[in-house]
Structure 1
Amino acid sequence: MKRLIILLIIAAVGWYGYGKYHDRLAAQPMGKAEAQGTRLPAQASANLESTGAAAFKCDGRTHCSQMTSCAEATYFLRNCPGTKMDGNNDGIPCERQWCK
């Protein structure tokens, strides 16, 4: 029983540490080569135009993990206050997840 409790404590500390590491990694600015282009990728631009801005609305979501596409993330970044999807402030949201 004692071993199980110790194992659970170690797992909880590891889970907490990984979460902090992931948050810190996501907040780091991208490298120079990745940050040079400030325009949206062609696919993201096309998706945004074909989907239409009417399909999205500001509903309080602020993080990339809450988005379902690059077009949606782009709409939120351009139109909704308080978004946290452009860590390096280059105008392209969710570069590691959606807008590659």
Structure 2
Amino acid sequence: MTQEPFETSENARRDRREHGGAPQSPDDDELARRTEEERVAAGVDDYDPDEVPPATDDPVPTDVRDTDEYQEAEAERRREESEGEIYPITDRHPFPPSHYDRS
């Protein structure tokens, strides 16, 4: 005897208020659930998407300025600018610095 992953129509309880034939309004949600179970059991689908737990990873920051890497780079840029290592491109300084003093 094979084990069914869900109730078969022989074992399913029927609403006694309905006639013995097909129900007047079939339960579409139940049909979709059973169909997905059958697809997984037959190997057509790898898993049931409704049974997948929610993701637990931390959300990805939407603004790059909120990351630690950006904050560190910005602090380094401000330090280099305050010490005169970098400067804006102007008529007086038409080219970027050719070297940076890292001592």
Q: Which has the higher contact order (CA 8 A, sep 6+)?
A: 1
- TM norm structure 2: 0.24
Structure of larger gyration radius: 2
Indicate the structure with greater helix content.
1
- TM norm structure 1: 0.25
